[in-house]
Amino acid sequence: MTTGTAASGSPLQSRGQRHKGSPKARIRKGKRDNSFSPTMQRCLFVLHVLSLAAPTYGIPIEEYARFKRRSRTGDCASSSLRAHSIACGWWLDSSLLADWRNAQRRFGLADTAASNLEAVFAAFSWRKGSHRLDDGKLTFVPCEKCGSESFSRALRMRNVSGAARRNCTIGWVREPLGRFESGYREFEWRFKEGLDAHGAEDMEQMTFHKKRVGSEERVLAFLDDLLSLRWYLRTGEYVIPRALHFRNALTHVFPFSGSLVGYRFDVVGDLADYDADARAMEAACGMTLPPPGPRVHPTSNDPQGLNAGLAKALQRPEVREALAAAFRVDFEFYSRAKARPREPLVHRYAQQLVANPN
């Protein structure tokens, strides 16, 4: 069995900040502290770079990406956007850019992806923090709308005798279109809370929120805004409008690949086949899982009346084709996970997030 290794320096990671919903999380732009000697500044810089390269097993989820821009964009070591900042020498793999451009074309949109590389990279690089359990033997890698919260509770319900006896890395995924459908409902729920908290003053470039909640027109307008990358703010303190960032609302409809890159999985289960795949995890890790509890979620009963309009939108060929293009890497990884390979499963897309050699 193999021990999972997190990719160093999550592209959108920003350490040491408070929970996203807290007012204290809105850290203002600041200037570099010049009170140290040049030698001391260089030492601190090196130490900071080394800390960013360390495995991120124990980083709480709330300390991940803030979607905030530092005032000094050239400060690559400390910027939360350092790994997808062109100014810092990073670039977007051409295959991911081609996917987004293809999605725009299939949805009948103008090609804006090539001129918004940071936005495309941001969509593909969102990640949640992994969990190390059972004295470090078990690594669980969650992703948005993949049953991660329910499964995390199940892992913590185990007694001592149910702990993993072998080094093991596991995760869950779900069929990407079904995940998008569930993610959209979650997005709208959290976005409503975000509007109450922050308003829509920084959303002038977007249109979906002006449509009726629950209508097919609103879903189509949202896809137009999402694929056209209008959620990405080129200037200012925040990378995306604050109402969209509230409780990570928008990331629920981003590709799940960002959470899974950089690990060697022993088992990746399909949420639709929970019972069978949970047994496979037990066998691979030498552990015992309790029966799953009820997966009740605030959006499960469709409190906002979204299902009818969402279903109509997803029946449109151009919508399905555009989502298939944008989430190509998700579909490929999902298919490979379903095939249950004998060798450890590694997300191939992990090798595509590379520094620009120029």
Tell me the C-alpha distance between 309 and 138, whole Å.
41
Say if strands 168-173 and 131-133 run parallel, antiparallel, or are unpaired.
Answer: unpaired
Residue 149 has pLDDT above 70, yes or no: yes
Mean pLDDT across the stretch 296-319?
A: 93
pLDDT band at 344 (very low <50, low <70, confident <90, very high): confident
**The two three-digit tokens of residue 286, written as one number:** 């030498």
Position 81 pLDDT exceeds 50: no
Q: What is the mean pLDDT of the chain?
A: 76
User: Is residue 340 pLDDT above 80, yes or no?
Assistant: yes
- Enclosing H/E stretch for 192: helix 176-198
CA distance 56 to 28: 25
In the predicted structure, residue 106 carries a pLDDT above the cut 50: yes
What confidence score (pLDDT) does residue 77 get? 38
The angle subtended at Cα 318 by Cα 315 and Cα 322, nearest 5°, is: 110
Dist. CA 131–CA 267, nearest whole Å: 15
3-state secondary structure of 305: coil
Res. 97 pLDDT band, cuts 50 70 90: confident
pTM for this prediction: 0.75
Residue 294: pLDDT band (50, 70, 90) is low
In the chain, the amino acid numbered 126 is W
Calpha distance 152→172 (Å, rounded): 11
The pLDDT of residue 69 is 43
Greatest mean pLDDT among 142-156, 209-223, 290-304 lies in 209-223
Amino acid identity of 158? R
Q: How confident is the model at residue 238 (pLDDT cuts 50, 70, 90)?
A: confident
What is the rounded average pLDDT of the residues 261-285?
Answer: 92
Q: Report CA-CA distances (Å) from 253 to 20, 162, 187.
A: 18, 34, 7
Indicate the pLDDT class of residue 239, thresholds 50, 70 and 90: confident
pLDDT tens digits for range 13-52: 332 333 333 333 332 333 334 455 655 555 554 444 333 3
**Phi, psi values for residue 192, rounded to 5°:** -60, -45
* DSSP structure string for 54-81: S--TT--GGGS---B--S-TT-TTT-TT
Q: Which residue has the higher pLDDT, 192 or 346?
A: 192
Query: Among 188, 158, 151, which residue's Cα sits nearest to residue 172?
Result: 151
Indicate the Cα dihedral angle 98, 103, 104, 106, nearest 10°.
Answer: 120
Q: Please compute the mean of the pLDDT values over residues 211-220 and round it to a whole number.
A: 98
As a whole number, mean pLDDT of residues 295-303 equals: 81
Give residue 186's identity as a one-letter amino acid code.
E
First to last CA, the chain: 38
Per-residue model confidence (pLDDT) at position 121:
78
Rounded Cα–Cα distance for residues 263 and 327 (Å): 19
